[in-house]
Structure 1
Amino acid sequence: MAIDLKTLSPKELQALIENANAQMHEARAAHVQSVKQKIEALLASSSLGLDDIYPSRGKKAAGKKAKTGSVAPKYRDPSDPSQTWSGRGRQPAWFAKALRRRGVTAESLLIDGSARPAAPAKSASPAKKAVKKAVKKAAKRVGKKTAAKKAA
């Protein structure tokens, strides 16, 4: 017997859905019970138990990777040695702040201390600074002259 869903009211449709879900759960439970009885009969006739068939039952499956746990810290905050970081995941605020300071690198924050702190950047000599400044001024003048010629 086919039901014409277009003629049903929303209330009737909802009741139909609920009845169908209940019937589906009952049918599934009956199917599971049937399969369970067949398995028990087969095991009894062969004098075996479930543990004989599935020895890893209740334990982690052999194919799954076990959780490894925590990782040893790799970096230490020089201003507060109690703060450490393993190098995995998001950088802690103290690590990012330390890297912004002059002469500090990630290697200099390593716990084992195998890497030396980076040497501070050498400042350019006054003569080199004067040359750079003069070059910038000249480039600016040339740029203004070419812009004036193009405009004319």
Structure 2
Amino acid sequence: MDLKSKSAKELEKLLSDVKKALADAQARERREAIKAAEKAAAEYGFSLSELTDGKNAVGKTKKAGRAKTVAAPKYANPADASQTWTGKGRQPNWYRAEIEQGTSAESMEI
């Protein structure tokens, strides 16, 4: 097929057709893979859902999404108490400026 002789509209139509055919082929292959897996599981006396319920391919339980915990603030800006820092991660500019001016970290602790 000579793509160089096709117009933009023809190429877009072709692209659309290829994307649809690809999606159909992937869905068909997925169905075939599931059927093959069900057949293999049945040979051992299991259903596929019994083998995969809540587990990954090696049989380990999937980890649930963990909520991130927020650390409590440890330091507060003496000039503006609403600015706080946990003491973890990058130092805020106000903290660095206070340290450079000679303020001790202990005096900024909450």
The answer to whether TM tops 0.5 is: yes
Counterpart for residue 55 of structure 2: 56
Q: 1:127-146 CA deviation, whole Å, 9 max, x = no partner?
A: xxxxxxxxxxxxxxxxxxxx
Counterpart for residue 105 of structure 1: 104
1:77 offset after TM fit, Å? 3.6
Partners of 1:101 and 1:24 in 2: CA distance = 62
Partners of 1:11 and 1:43 in 2: CA distance = 48
1:83 offset after TM fit, Å? 5.0
Counterpart for residue 3 of structure 2: 5
Q: Is the 8 A contact 2:76 2:82 kept in 1?
A: yes
> Compared with structure 1, are the counterparts of its residues 102 and 11 closer, same or farther at alpha carbon in structure 2 (3 Å cutoff)?
closer
Counterpart for residue 22 of structure 2: 24
Partners of 2:100 and 2:42 in 1: CA distance = 74
For the aligned residues, what is the CA RMSD? 3.3
Q: Is the 8 A contact 1:75 1:84 kept in 2?
A: yes
Larger Rg belongs to: 1
Indicate the structure whose relative CO is greater, using CA pairs within 8 Å and at least 6 residues apart. Answer: 2
1:105 offset after TM fit, Å? 2.9
Q: Which amino acid counterpart does residue 60 of structure 1 have in structure 2?
A: K
Q: Count the aligned residue pairs.
A: 104
Partners of 2:23 and 2:15 in 1: CA distance = 12
> Compared with structure 1, are the counterparts of its residues 22 and 73 closer, same or farther at alpha carbon in structure 2 (3 Å cutoff)?
same
1:40 offset after TM fit, Å? 1.1
Partners of 2:40 and 2:62 in 1: CA distance = 24
Partners of 2:21 and 2:39 in 1: CA distance = 27
Q: Which runs of 5 or more residues in structure 2 are unaligned?
A: none
Among all aligned residue pairs of Structure 1 and Structure 2, give the percentage whose two residues are the same amino acid.
Answer: 30
Scaled by the length of structure 1, what TM-score is found? 0.52
Counterpart for residue 39 of structure 2: 41
